[in-house]
């Protein structure tokens, strides 16, 4: 295995101390921030008042991705990652379709809910390796 491969896909996967608690903490803050952001857009709160929460949502989302990828980059080609990619693509649409942002955000929420509650065999299926990880 090349050094890049061994860095991305270590055997055994790396372990981050207390990763479950970090994940729970980041997910809780992420859900709170994104929930308030959605509500802010539903109730037409001025965008300036939502910027801080937007940055919290971005930071905690990035932290959640880091927590998934750190042990092994295999996460990046699993169906659970595809759900994240779809959510990011939808969020990018808001830049173009600002007036439709509430519907787009509700779509993001639906994708997140389906992705979070899909069976393990679906979420952890590797598109690349064609097997459940």
Average pLDDT score over residue span 23-36: 97
- Mean pLDDT score of the chain: 96
Task: Indicate whether 58 and 3 sit together in one domain.
Answer: yes
pLDDT in tens, 42-67: 999 999 999 999 999 999 999 999 99
Number of domains comprising the chain? 2
pLDDT at 1 over 80: no
* Same structural domain, 48 and 84: no
Query: Based on the domain organization, do 96 and 51 belong to the same domain?
Result: no
Question: What's residue 2's pLDDT?
Answer: 84
Q: What are phi and psi of 76, to 5 degrees?
A: -65, -20
Same domain, 78 and 128: yes
Q: Note whether 27 and 85 are same-domain residues.
A: no
How far is the C-alpha of 133 from the C-alpha of 127, rounded, in Å? Answer: 10
């Amino acid at each position: 295995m090349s050094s890049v491969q061994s860095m991305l896909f270590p055997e055994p996967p790396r372990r981050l101390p207390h990763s479950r608690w970090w994940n729970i903490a980041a997910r809780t803050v992420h859900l709170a921030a994104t929930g308030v952001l959605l509500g802010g857009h539903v109730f037409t709160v001025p965008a300036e008042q939502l910027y801080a929460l937007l940055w919290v949502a971005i930071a905690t989302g990035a932290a959640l991705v880091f927590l998934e990828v750190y042990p092994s980059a295999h996460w990046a080609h699993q169906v659970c990652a595809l759900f994240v990619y779809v959510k990011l693509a939808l969020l990018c649409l808001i830049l173009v379709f600002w007036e439709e942002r509430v519907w787009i955000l509700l779509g993001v929420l639906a994708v997140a809910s389906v992705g979070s509650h899909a069976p393990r065999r679906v979420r952890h299926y590797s598109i690349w390796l064609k097997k459940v990880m």
